[in-house]
Amino acid sequence: MKTKTEFTILERAIATVQGFEGVYKTLQQNITLRGQSQSTLHNYTRQISLVSLHFNRLPELVTEQELNEYLANLAISAKSPSRSAFKHAVYGLRYYFKVMGDTKRAIKLPSIKKDAKLPVILNRSELRALFAAPKLLKHRVLLTLIYSAGLRSQELINLKIADIDFERKTIHIRRSKYNKDRIVPLSDNMAIGLHKYLQAEHPLVWLFNGQAPGSHYAAKGIAWVMRQALKKTGISKEVSIHSLRHSYATHLLEDGLNIVTVKELLGHAYVDTTMIYLHIAQCPLIQAHSPLDTLYPKATNKQ
């Protein structure tokens, strides 16, 4: 769900930048035809709105030099040490120019180097401490569920009570990233916690209700719960709510699950994305041997 501030950015661009309303409709139609999610539309239009408001004209009317200066300022901004603002702006502009048929300008935009850093995960002791930290049952269940099913924040937000099948022990994640559904196992321990939570909180439609009637929980709220829990545990690692998903994938590999199955459980489009966890997982080493010895494990030395 878009926040009031984000609505204001888009509305300001429509109201003040000539031709922006038509651009927004074009982007909206293109994303709908491609079957992409509304969050994709929101992310791209927000970036285009910011660029258009900065120059008070559409991106195609901004010179290449002006655009490069704008992006350079984002890249070196002290407020964005991870360069996330810069990266999002480049992604948004690249998509925009492609939709508008200006492939040359899309190609000329700065390239984004993939972050070579490995994800930071929490070990099992840290996770137990984290899940015990929140005072409210709702917050304890929320954090535990993200880890137990490897959920993205948006996936947790969009979960409905009906998506939890206690009998079949499954969780149905709908229209996630890449507009795909997937089903993941429901932990027996998680089922116990969810039953307690449902009996105590009585949510109506969404598994986790927001403050407004009929609304679901907000992404900022999830991040706040994580930050508060971390403060109580004294964990010094630089982790976020997404680190629970990283920990889920790593621990599954350490438990012996094959990487293709982990890929499907995470909802990754390509196994290459999942393979990064192989660099973190402490998988038991298997001594080099001949497969003949496992074919006949009880073979003797008799001739």
Are residue 153 and residue 253 in the same domain, yes or no? Answer: yes
d(C-alpha 66, C-alpha 68), whole Å: 5
Contact assessment for residue 279 and residue 118, using Cβ atoms and an 8 Å cutoff: yes
d(C-alpha 226, C-alpha 209), whole Å: 17
Task: Look up residue 251 and give its two tokens.
Answer: 């621990």
Contact assessment for residue 143 and residue 228, using Cβ atoms and an 8 Å cutoff: no
Are residue 80 and residue 145 in the same domain, yes or no? Answer: no
* Residue tagged 């038991």 (tokens): 284
d(C-alpha 282, C-alpha 251), whole Å: 9
* Burial class, 245, CB count within 10 angstroms (exposed 0-12 / middle 13-18 / buried 19+): buried
Are residue 128 and residue 91 in the same domain, yes or no? Answer: no
- HSE at residue 159, side-chain half, CA atoms within 13 A, is 27
Report pLDDT for 210: 87
Query: Cα-flanking dihedrals φ and ψ of residue 164, to 5°?
Result: -100, 115
The total of structural domains in the chain comes to 2
Q: Which domain holds residue 70?
A: 4-108
Task: Look up residue 218 and give its two tokens.
Answer: 């907000």
Give the residue numbers marked as catalytic: 152, 177, 242, 245, 268, 277
Report pLDDT for 283: 79
Report pLDDT for 74: 82
pLDDT tens for 246-257 read 999 999 999 989
Alpha carbon of 166 to those of 169, 172, 187, 194: distances in Å?
A: 5, 11, 10, 10
Residues above pLDDT 90, as percent of the chain: 56
Are residue 101 and residue 66 in the same domain, yes or no? Answer: yes
**Ranges of H-type helices in 100-241:** 103-108, 124-132, 137-149, 153-157, 188-201, 219-233
Report pLDDT for 88: 86
Task: Look up residue 119 and give its two tokens.
Answer: 């994800």
Are residue 149 and residue 274 in the same domain, yes or no? Answer: yes
Q: What is the pLDDT along the chain (303 residues), one digit of tens a residue?
A: 445 455 588 899 999 999 999 999 998 888 888 777 777 788 888 899 999 999 999 999 999 889 988 888 887 764 544 467 888 889 899 999 999 999 889 888 888 776 668 899 999 999 999 999 999 999 999 999 999 999 999 999 999 999 999 999 999 999 787 678 999 999 999 999 999 999 999 999 999 998 888 888 998 999 999 999 999 998 999 999 999 999 999 999 999 899 999 999 999 988 888 999 988 988 776 667 777 677 776 655 544
Report pLDDT for 81: 44
For 86, the enclosing helix (H) or strand (E) is: helix 84-99
Are residue 151 and residue 252 in the same domain, yes or no? Answer: yes
Residue 85 backbone class (left: φ over 0; alpha: ψ -120 to 50; beta: rest): alpha
Are residue 170 and residue 243 in the same domain, yes or no? Answer: yes
For 11, the enclosing helix (H) or strand (E) is: helix 4-16
What is the spatial order of strands in the sheet that 170-173 belongs to?
Answer: 164-165, 170-173, 182-185
Query: Cα-flanking dihedrals φ and ψ of residue 170, to 5°?
Result: -135, 155
The answer as to whether 292 is a domain residue is no
Are residue 88 and residue 174 in the same domain, yes or no? Answer: no
Report pLDDT for 278: 87
Report pLDDT for 178: 67
The answer as to whether 83 is a domain residue is yes
Task: Look up residue 115 and give its two tokens.
Answer: 């972050």
Are residue 101 and residue 133 in the same domain, yes or no? Answer: no
Report pLDDT for 213: 81
Are residue 149 and residue 184 in the same domain, yes or no? Answer: yes
Report pLDDT for 303: 45
